[in-house]
Amino acid sequence: MNTQRKINLSQSFVTLGILVVLFIVFLVEVFLGGSENTNVLIKMGAMNNFAVVAGHQWWRLFMAQFLHIGIMHLVSNAIIIYYMGQYMEPLMGHVRFLVTYLLAGVGGNLMSLAFSADRGFSAGASTALFGLFGAMTAIGLRNLHNPMIAFLGRQAFVLALINLALDIFVPGIDIWGHIGGLIAGFLLAIILGDRVMKTYNPKWRVLAAAVLVVYVVWTVRTGMIINF
């Protein structure tokens, strides 16, 4: 039993590291005045289009994925990240998993920059989480010969659709960030590959890389137009 537990920890230590960072950042939020305090969130890097574009604070695209608004927001994201990471990190490898997670979080915030309300603010790991949904979907498609991996890919896609449907009925949810994370994660998984089939066909990788570049340029250019 102890040996199995050690193996599991060695296979998903990046996932556990991400969760530790999320909880530490949340404690900092609480210490500075509360995780639901708008001033604290803005100070620590929550997404706000005015701040990003007019204030040239592009670091918010990265930092916002580590902040959470309320303990339930953190816990709900942490549970699903832990669940996804337990099988995705061994499949992708530690470095691929971490790169996909972080860059998908940025990709989701780029979509938020482009289409979310300019006066609002948003935060949360859900952009990166939807990136994991997208990445697992791509991995599942690449490994259709493997029933288990194909099933996990379908499950991830269904979870993404269910959550997007719920987003429509929940006020204050940054659905654009979720969609952007899903797209970015899907493309990143095609580009980076996984441990089972290693990589997609080079043509698919080049196409995915080209689409990702277009996505970044498009969202940045669209996001630069601020409605004062």
List the catalytic residues.
126, 178
- Work out the angle at residue 105's Cα, subtended by the Cα atoms of residues 151 and 207, and round it to the nearest 5 degrees: 65
41: left (phi over 0), alpha (psi -120 to 50) or beta: alpha
**AA identity, residue 154:** R
Per the CB < 8 A criterion, the answer to whether 174 and 69 are in contact is: no
Angle at 64 between CA 155 and CA 16, to 5 degrees: 55
Beta carbons of 92 and 10 less than 8 angstroms apart:
no
- HSE of 113 in the Cβ direction (CA atoms, 13 Å)? 34
CA distances to 42, 73, 78, 83, 112 from 39, rounded to whole Å, are 5, 18, 24, 32, 20
